[in-house]
Amino acid sequence: MLEKLFGNPVIEKILFFLLVNETSYASELRDRLDVSLYSVQMALGRLEKGGIIICHPQGKTQVYQYNPRYPFLEEFKVFLRKAYSALPESLRRRVYEPPIRKRPRRKGKPL
Amino acid sequence: MINWATISLEDLAGYLSKELKKRGIDLILVGGACVTIYSRNQYQSYDLDFIVYEDMKEVKKALKELGFIEKGGYFQRLDCKWFVEFVSSPAAVGREIISEFEEIKVKTGVITMLRPEDSVKDRLASFFHWNDRQGLNQAIEICAEQNIDIKEIETWSISEGFEEKLTEFLGRLQKA
């Protein structure tokens, strides 16, 4: 939908994924978006260079999120939310809103 | 003649500003180097972060002519300890786009850079968003050396939604 604007379909997917899930890392994006790790890393690098996202190391993983200091963040997210709402619901649920447990679980707790 | 081994951070900023201006490129100094200058070296940055609105191809060409090599997103001369980086435009602190800058004259040229107030806001933004204590300390170091309009800092902090952390900053400032 916005790939012509961003010049890259992976960028659009990453931006939508972070919009919905707030944080992510390269291998998760590869798996969820079904694109190559190389494409994800290139796109993340481009977005980071542009100041749109930032990454924080968590252990050995680089976790990405929107840069809260990006001056157009508020307006950009409004724009993205509108575009995201135009996606078919089935696609949103399958790719961007998977039913993955995100709430904490005590270590060692039986299922 | 530039002595690359001993040139100071601010003289390099002045030199690059002058040389790139000759080629029609205006540089704006932001980030840690502004803190170094305003805090009178209380904090030492090792890189020069510039914002440029012109085409980066022209910037790269100019830096190459001046002997700088691009490596991993930075530019450096092998005989000079400082790094040069170009950060994403626009010049902004939080949601506030910056359009007024300070000009300081050094022996190698004129540096266009963040105003001291914007440099404080820039450091406070790191403290506000990432709880970066180094940023908080640097903001205080600038205030200790410059005549900062604290009212402006207060108004900006509240508009950014960080009243609580502003209180912590003001408390630290009083004790400094």
- Decide which of B115, B141, B160 is a domain's last residue: B115
**Residue B133 belongs to a domain:** yes
- CB-CB neighbours of B1 under 10 Å: 3
pLDDT in tens, A19-51: 999 999 999 999 999 999 999 999 999 999 999
CA proximity to B102, closest of B88, B113, B117, B91? B113
Count of domains forming chain B: 2
> In whole angstroms, how far apart are CA B103 and each of A6, A53, B109?
36, 30, 10
Which member of A51, A71, A74 has the closest CB to residue B87?
Answer: A51
CATH topology of domain A7-85: Arc Repressor Mutant, subunit A (1.10.10)
| Residue B56 at interface with chain A, using a CB cutoff of 8 Å | no
> CATH code at B75?
3.30.460.40
**Residue B1 belongs to a domain:** no
Concatenate the DSSP letters of all residues of A82-101 into one string. Answer: HHHHTS-HHHIIIIIS----
* Same domain assignment for residues B145 and B107: no
Is there a contact between B96 and A71 if contact means CB atoms under 8 Å apart? yes
| Residue B73 at interface with chain A, using a CB cutoff of 8 Å | yes
Which member of A50, A73, A74 has the closest CB to residue B88?
Answer: A50
Domain-wise residue ranges, chain A: 7-85
* Same domain assignment for residues B58 and B141: no
CA proximity to B158, closest of B145, B142, B169, B171? B169
pLDDT in tens, A66-102: 999 999 999 999 999 999 999 988 899 999 997 777 7
* Same domain assignment for residues B111 and B121: no
3-state secondary structure of B105: strand
- Decide which of B115, B133, B163 is a domain's last residue: B115
Within 8 A of B126 by CB-CB distance, chain A residues are 69
Paired strand residues for B30: B49
| Residue B90 at interface with chain A, using a CB cutoff of 8 Å | yes
The pLDDT-based confidence of A111 (bands split at 50, 70, 90) is low
The pLDDT-based confidence of B29 (bands split at 50, 70, 90) is very high
Range of the domain at B171: 117-175
User: What pLDDT is attached to residue B73?
Assistant: 84
**Residue B150 belongs to a domain:** yes
* Same domain assignment for residues B58 and B134: no
The interface residues of chain A toward chain B in range 60-99, judged by CB-CB distance below 8 A, are 68-69, 71, 73-74
Q: What is the DSSP letter of B175?
A: H
Is there a contact between B129 and A71 if contact means CB atoms under 8 Å apart? no
- Decide which of B64, B89, B115 is a domain's last residue: B115
pLDDT in tens, B110-133: 999 999 999 999 999 999 999 999
pLDDT in tens, B130-163: 999 999 999 999 999 999 999 999 999 999 999 9
Asked whether the ipTM of the predicted complex exceeds the cut of 0.85, the reply is no
**Residue B2 belongs to a domain:** no
